[in-house]
Amino acid sequence: MSTALHWATLAAYVLGTFVYLGFLLHQRRGLYRMGLTILWIGFGLHTIALGAVWYEGGVVPATSFRQSLDVFSWAIMGATLVINLRVEVMILGAFTAPICSLLLLAAGLLPQVEVVKSPVFQNLWVVVHVFTLLSGYGLLALTFVGGLLYLFQDRSLRAKNLGASFQRLPSLTRLDTLNHQTLVAGFLLMTLGLISGAVYAQIALGSYWRWDPKEVWALITWLMYAALLHARLVQGWRGRRGAWLSVLAFAALVFTFIGAGLLLPGYHNFTNLTDLGTVQP
Amino acid sequence: MNLFLVGISHKTAPLKVRECLAPEPEETGELLRRCMGLPGVREAFMVATCNRVEVLVASEKDDTADTVEAWLGQGKPVDPEELSRAIYVHQGEDAVRHLMRVAASLDSMVVGEPQILGQIKEAYRAATAAGSSRTVLNRLLHKTFQVAKKVRTETNIGGAAVSISYAAVELGKKIFDDLAGLTALVIGAGEMAELAVEHLMAQGVSRVLVANRTLERAVELAGRWQGEALGLDELDQVLGQVDIVITSTGSPEPVITHKLAKKALKRRRGKPVFFIDIAVPRDVEFKVAEIDGCFVYDIDDLIQVVEANRANRAEAAQAAERIVAQEVVKFMTWLKSLGAVPTISALAAKGEVLRQAELERTLRGLNGIGPEQAEAIDRLTQALVKKLLNDPILFLKDPSHSKSEETKREQLALVRRLFNLEGED
């Protein structure tokens, strides 16, 4: 059931990607609306699919790398659609839909891992930890995309190169609003995610902080985003510098998420998570 | 039926005068009803934008233009002499041509700008709601919309960002998204700077500051745009509040230095500033363009922006004028035909043409038929057509005085449509 839903979601995202590419080419508002509708449908399917995995597995669906990618894709798409209700950046879907498709595809191709049905993962704190953190990551991914678009548009304006891409990209102010809102909301969720993780570590493992590599990297990422937020709000780093910093911070985020999850040792590593299932809370 | 178009536009009157004449949007219906009360006026239409105020009437009388002109200026806080110099009157064919040119954006401040058609459609809706647009104006306006659409699709006029000011507005929108509520600062004066300001204001820029070497000149310009005047030495204090800066001074030294701009950006917490430097030599120091959030376009940059589109402009305008000219002729033919006599002769002529065509085809098909029989068939068809058209013709000739002129025109228009006497529809 969940597998079929998974592929149906992927199909919707891929279709949405193509419709958005059509919109990029032809600039027809109808195509944009169609693409948006398809992505909403895809997101609905995705939500049901994750619910099904959760129901079938009995634990929050983020105990393997495969599932984490799945939830990450869901979070990015959700963030795209929700932020679009506040700040309409019509071409945003053209960038996030392919990203979400690729993440889903990767998740689908990775081997299925036996779900660890441990009470460790059934605690409400884990649910809060996983979903706030990944929703935050989804929003910060948009800050990254928005930052890149900002840099691109800024360069076009400075170089006085007002070609097709200039016409299609939204205004600097709109991109800046997008970056600002996603950064604030993303940072807030990320903070909540880290706090809930610490609280849970205290409950389950007996200490708030264990110098686990992923914990350290998450802290580094958090500090970078805190610096970015400070620079924006206090120093007025709205323009290029803010955009560059958001790109840099997102690189740290991706490393925390993928690098520390796969390459570095520690209990947060996805292969070691299985062992964690044996710990008794 | 005479058509008169009375109005003022950006070509004949400054913004101040145009503003005086322009009604509030919600007044339009009432104004149209009052206009219908003027002697001779049968139909009325009024369009008011920031660039023009025009009244189009269909009238029974020949001197309605003067009546409308006097009515337009009535009770308005405007010097009558200045008004009479600014007002233009077009009659008949010229009025039709003018309306079509306006709708096709050939008379706009920025030729090819797309808003005007929407504004005319809106004005037409108001006229329909007020009941002041009837047979003649309904047809004229519908034809006008068709012409405007045709011009837009068949020529390249709309695709061209054709003026420097327009380019400045488009660039501003790519920086600020929406120009509504922004503050603009004009340093120095000059026709181009003033035009740019008026464009920006039309796009929603709400506050204008004017800085000049001589404060009197600044006060004078500021008065025109209900802005604030300041001296050049005050730039330092206000630069942090403005979003768009238009510089056009004769100063040999840059007026906006790197230091000044840097400080302003800091005070704005990085909110971008758009510098439009029209002056030669330039008023904005070269290094300002490197500051984060500062976008500097000088006159050459703006020209470059529009250059690509400019080549096609003259050609497109010519093609558009041709389309308008054709449609003017067609409409005038229709208007003249809108009497009983031309309609009856058109009806009779159509009957005869159809009869001849059918007769010839029938006779060709019948072999070995004598001249007597042929003549009988000819008589038969004649009688048939005559009898068939008899009643409609009597109806058209009906001199009954109970019918108003308007009803008669409507009926004529209906008969012409019923029998497809327009030739084109």
Q: Please check whether residue B87 lies inside any domain of the structure.
A: yes
Q: Which residue has the tokens 């330092």?
A: B236
pLDDT at A280: 42
Q: Which of residues 238-257 of A touch B (CB under 8 A)?
A: 238-242
Q: What DSSP line would sit under chain A, residue for residue?
A: -HHHHHHHHHHHHHHHHHHHHHHHHH--HHHHHHHHHHHHHHHHHHHHHHHHHHHHHSS-S-SSHHHHHHHHHHHHHHHHHHHHHHS--TTHHHHHHHHHHHHHHHHHHSPP------GGGTSHHHHHHHHHHHHHHHHHHHHHHHHHHHHHHHHHHHHT--SHHHHHS--HHHHHHHHHHHHHHHHHHHHHHHHHHHHHHHHHHS-S----HHHHHHHHHHHHHHHHHHIIIII---SHHHHHHHHHHHHHHHIIIIIHHHTS-STTSHHHHHHHTT---
Residue B31's nearest CA partner among B14, B53, B13 is B53
**One domain for residues A104 and A123:** no
Report the alpha-carbon distance of residue A164 to residue A167 in Å, rounded: 5
pLDDT at B424: 47
CATH number at residue A256: 1.20.120
CB contact under 8 A, A173 and B272: yes
| The overall pTM is greater than 0.80 | no
Q: Please check whether residue B333 lies inside any domain of the structure.
A: no
CB contact under 8 A, A157 and B295: yes
pLDDT at A281: 38
Nearest chain A CA: its distance from B356 CA (Å): 52
Say if CB B70 and CB B106 are below 8 A apart.
Answer: no
Our count of domains for chain A comes to 2
**One domain for residues B46 and B75:** yes
Q: Please check whether residue B420 lies inside any domain of the structure.
A: no
Rg of chain A's alpha carbons, rounded to an integer? 19
Q: Please check whether residue B90 lies inside any domain of the structure.
A: yes
- Counted across chains A and B, CB pairs separated by less than 8 A come out at 52
Rounded to 5°, the CA angle A47-A12-A136 comes to 45
**One domain for residues A206 and A235:** yes
Residue type at B133 in one-letter notation: S
pLDDT, tens digit (0-9, with 9 covering 90-100), for B33-77? 999 989 889 899 999 887 789 999 998 888 888 888 888 888 788
Residues of B256-291 as b/e, b for ≥16 C-beta within 10 angstroms?
Answer: bebebbbebbeebebbbbbbbbbbeebbbbeebbeb
B contact test, residue of A154, A169, A238 with most B CBs within 10 A: A238
> Which tops the pLDDT comparison, A268 or B26?
B26
Cβ neighbors of B33 (< 8 A, separation 6 or more) are B130, B131, B132
In which band, very low, low, confident or very high, does the pLDDT at B161 lie, cut at 50, 70 and 90? very low
A contact test, residue of B177, B263, B296 with most A CBs within 10 A: B177
Report the alpha-carbon distance of residue A148 to residue A89 in Å, rounded: 14
Nearest chain B CA: its distance from A238 CA (Å): 6
- Indicate whether B244 pLDDT > 90: yes
Rounded to 5°, the CA angle A179-B239-B254 comes to 115
Q: Please check whether residue B186 lies inside any domain of the structure.
A: yes
CB contact under 8 A, B295 and A241: no
pLDDT at A279: 47
Cis? peptide before B281, omega within 30° of 0: yes
Mean pLDDT of all residues in chain B?
Answer: 85
CB contact under 8 A, B175 and A158: no
Say if CB B300 and CB A200 are below 8 A apart.
Answer: no
Q: Please check whether residue B314 lies inside any domain of the structure.
A: no
In which band, very low, low, confident or very high, does the pLDDT at B19 lie, cut at 50, 70 and 90? confident
Q: Residue B216 region, left (φ>0) first, then alpha (ψ -120 to 50), else beta?
A: alpha
Last residue of a domain, one of A108, A143, A170: A108
Q: Is B278 helix (H, G, I), strand (E, B) or coil?
A: coil
Last residue of a domain, one of A59, A81, A108: A108
**One domain for residues A192 and A261:** yes
Counting Cα atoms < 13 Å in the Cβ hemisphere of B353 gives: 7
Q: Please check whether residue B246 lies inside any domain of the structure.
A: yes
Q: Which domain holds residue A158?
A: 116-281
**One domain for residues A146 and A281:** yes
pLDDT at A149: 94
CB contact under 8 A, B177 and A173: yes
**One domain for residues A80 and A149:** no
**One domain for residues B208 and B271:** yes
**One domain for residues B44 and B150:** yes
Which residues in chain A are contacts of B266 at CB distance < 8 A?
236
**One domain for residues B288 and B241:** yes
**One domain for residues A48 and A175:** no
Report the alpha-carbon distance of residue A83 to residue B84 in Å, rounded: 55
Last residue of a domain, one of A74, A108, A142: A108
> Which tops the pLDDT comparison, A278 or B403?
B403
Report the alpha-carbon distance of residue B96 to residue B141 in Å, rounded: 9
Last residue of a domain, one of B159, B191, B210: B159
**One domain for residues B134 and B221:** no
B176–chain A Cβ distance below 8 A for any pair: yes
Residue B76's nearest CA partner among B4, B27, B120, B110 is B27
Last residue of a domain, one of B270, B305, B340: B305
Our count of domains for chain B comes to 2
B166–chain A Cβ distance below 8 A for any pair: no
**One domain for residues B151 and B204:** no
CB contact under 8 A, B174 and A166: yes
Q: Is B271 helix (H, G, I), strand (E, B) or coil?
A: coil
| Nearest residue of chain B to residue A88 (CA atoms) | B177
**One domain for residues A26 and A120:** no
**One domain for residues A104 and A154:** no
Q: Which domain holds residue B112?
A: 2-159
Report the alpha-carbon distance of residue A109 to residue B54 in Å, rounded: 68
**One domain for residues B176 and B60:** no
> Which tops the pLDDT comparison, A229 or B203?
A229
Bridge partners (DSSP) of residue B6 are B55, B89
Q: What DSSP line would sit under B184-195, residue for residue?
A: EEEEE--HHHHH
Q: What is the pLDDT along chain A (281 residues), one digit of tens a residue?
A: 678 898 999 999 999 999 999 998 888 889 999 999 999 999 999 999 999 988 887 777 877 888 888 999 999 999 999 999 998 999 999 999 999 999 999 988 887 766 666 666 777 888 899 899 999 999 999 999 999 999 999 999 988 877 778 888 899 999 999 999 999 999 999 999 999 989 988 887 788 887 888 888 899 999 999 999 999 888 888 888 888 999 999 999 998 888 776 766 666 766 666 555 444 43
Report the alpha-carbon distance of residue B188 to residue B232 in Å, rounded: 9
Report the alpha-carbon distance of residue B273 to residue B262 in Å, rounded: 11
Which residues in chain B are contacts of A170 at CB distance < 8 A?
177
CATH number at residue B255: 3.40.50.720
**One domain for residues A229 and A276:** yes
Average pLDDT over residues B160-183: 81
**One domain for residues B140 and B209:** no
Which residues in chain B are contacts of A236 at CB distance < 8 A?
265-266, 268-271
**One domain for residues A54 and A186:** no
CB contact under 8 A, A153 and B305: no
Bridge partners (DSSP) of residue B45 are B56
How many residues are given for chain A?
Answer: 281
**One domain for residues A161 and A269:** yes
**One domain for residues B140 and B254:** no
CB contact under 8 A, A239 and B270: yes
Report the alpha-carbon distance of residue B83 to residue B73 in Å, rounded: 7
Last residue of a domain, one of B281, B305, B329: B305
Q: Please check whether residue B293 lies inside any domain of the structure.
A: yes
pLDDT at B95: 93
CATH number at residue B38: 3.30.460.30
Task: Please confirm, yes or no, whether B35 is among the known catalytic residues.
Answer: no
**One domain for residues A149 and A264:** yes
Nearest chain A CA: its distance from B297 CA (Å): 8
**One domain for residues B192 and B275:** yes
**One domain for residues B214 and B278:** yes
**One domain for residues B174 and B131:** no
Q: Report residue B264: phi and psi, to 5°.
A: -60, -45
Rg of chain B's alpha carbons, rounded to an integer? 30
Q: Which of A162, A171, A241 sits opposite B173 (nearest CB)?
A: A171
CB contact under 8 A, A241 and B292: yes
A164–chain B Cβ distance below 8 A for any pair: no
A contact test, residue of B169, B292, B294, B295 with most A CBs within 10 A: B292
